[in-house]
């Protein structure tokens, strides 16, 4: 399981669910819990958080072409979560948030990750290492990998962690299919998105007071060499892959490849663009949100390092 929930996760909800239970996006998995009943006594201000089209507002900070240091992005997420919780207390939480970016090279571990999955001496790490509060084992982030950090109030979607993880997977599966004609799937008992025995997308989340953060990372044109320094996600018998690598394999195997002619001729920057556009589209469809693009984050969100890091190294 790649989810980490705070002890007070199961508190009684005070917000209405949206009409998402009526969407085509549903799962018959035994993990999915029964639908939440609609709370009828919410006030007019709460109701305005859902648009007339039935879509919740989502502020989007789209920096998908930028390499953002992990510590800054992590601090930013936690600042938004803190602000969101304060809004919830005042019944003024009217918007979710989506951050899209790339990271400078970094290894991250979940709160209970084992250092046995590191194939290097932590005192002489090849790049920065952070232990975070998300679930899951160690993974790598770096250039060519698109990272999406949804900060989502699950009270307005579905208060079910399994549903949320499957929803994040579905975004990637749909994007790979619609844009690249790549048939990706889930593997029973494992979280993430796979093509054969190779993992293209890793997912790790934290949920506190039903506000989810952290998110997913998709290898697009990523140099996969740094993954050799770890046992990615703690899975020893499977590997990692990238969209670029798969397209090359398909092209060399049958001479045609996947997707359109434009995809075949795409360079690294174009592959990032294609993937980004598709992921954003599928995110909006899966979560039924209406994006409102925002400028770069206020400086206050980027001040200071998270308390569980020391000069970018694991403590």
Is 60 one of the annotated active-site residues of the chain? no
The pair of structure tokens assigned to 304 is 């200071």
Length of the chain: 315
Q: How far apart are CA 270 and CA 275, in angstroms?
A: 8
Tell how far CA 65 is from the center of its chain.
17
Please choose, from the candidates 191, 88, 84, 85, the residue with its C-alpha nearest in 3D space to the C-alpha of residue 134: 191
> Phi and psi (nearest 5°) for 146?
-85, 130
> Phi and psi (nearest 5°) for 228?
-70, -15
Q: How far apart are CA 283 and CA 158, in angstroms?
A: 15
DSSP assignment of 239-262 equals EE--HHHHHHHHHHHHS--SS-HH
Q: What letter would DSSP give residue 224?
A: -
**Are the C-beta atoms of residues 16 and 38 closer than 8 Å to each other?**
yes
**Are the C-beta atoms of residues 148 and 193 closer than 8 Å to each other?**
no
Annotated catalytic residue, options 58, 60, 127, 233:
233
**Are the C-beta atoms of residues 51 and 284 closer than 8 Å to each other?**
no
Q: How far apart are CA 199 and CA 2, in angstroms?
A: 14
**Are the C-beta atoms of residues 43 and 16 closer than 8 Å to each other?**
no
Residues 6+ apart with CB under 8 A from 123: none
- Give the ranges where the chain is alpha helix by DSSP (H): 44-47, 70-89, 161-180, 243-254, 261-265, 268-287
Question: Mind telling me the catalytic residues?
Answer: 233
């Amino acid at each position: 399981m790649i989810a980490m929930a705070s002890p007070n996760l199961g508190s009684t909800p005070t917000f209405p669910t949206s009409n998402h239970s009526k969407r085509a996006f549903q799962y018959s998995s035994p993990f999915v819990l029964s639908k939440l009943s609609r709370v009828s006594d919410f006030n007019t201000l709460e109701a305005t958080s859902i648009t007339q089209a039935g879509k919740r507002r989502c502020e989007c900070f789209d920096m998908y072409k930028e390499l953002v240091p992990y510590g800054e992005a992590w601090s930013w997420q936690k600042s938004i979560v803190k602000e969101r919780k304060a809004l919830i207390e005042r019944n003024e939480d009217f918007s979710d948030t989506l951050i899209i970016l790339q990271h400078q090279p970094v290894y991250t571990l979940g709160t209970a990750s084992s250092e046995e999955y590191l194939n290097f001496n932590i005192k002489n790490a090849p790049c920065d290492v952070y232990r975070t509060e998300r679930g899951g084992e160690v993974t790598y982030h770096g250039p060519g990998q698109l990272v999406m950090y949804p900060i989502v109030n699950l009270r307005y979607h579905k208060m079910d962690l399994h549903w949320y993880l499957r929803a994040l997977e579905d975004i990637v599966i749909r994007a790979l299919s619609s844009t690249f004609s790549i048939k990706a799937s889930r593997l029973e008992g494992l979280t993430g998105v796979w093509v054969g025995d190779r993992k293209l997308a890793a997912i790790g989340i934290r949920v506190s007071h039903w506000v989810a953060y952290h998110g997913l990372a998709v290898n697009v044109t990523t140099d996969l060499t740094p993954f050799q320094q770890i046992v990615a996600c703690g899975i020893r018998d499977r590997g990692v892959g990238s969209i670029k690598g798969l397209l090359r394999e398909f092209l060399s195997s049958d001479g045609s490849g996947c997707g359109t002619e434009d995809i075949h001729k795409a360079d690294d920057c174009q592959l990032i663009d294609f993937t980004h556009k598709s992921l954003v589209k599928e995110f909006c469809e899966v979560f039924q949100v209406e994006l409102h693009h925002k400028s770069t984050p206020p400086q206050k969100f980027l001040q200071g390092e998270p308390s569980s890091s020391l000069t970018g190294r694991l403590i």
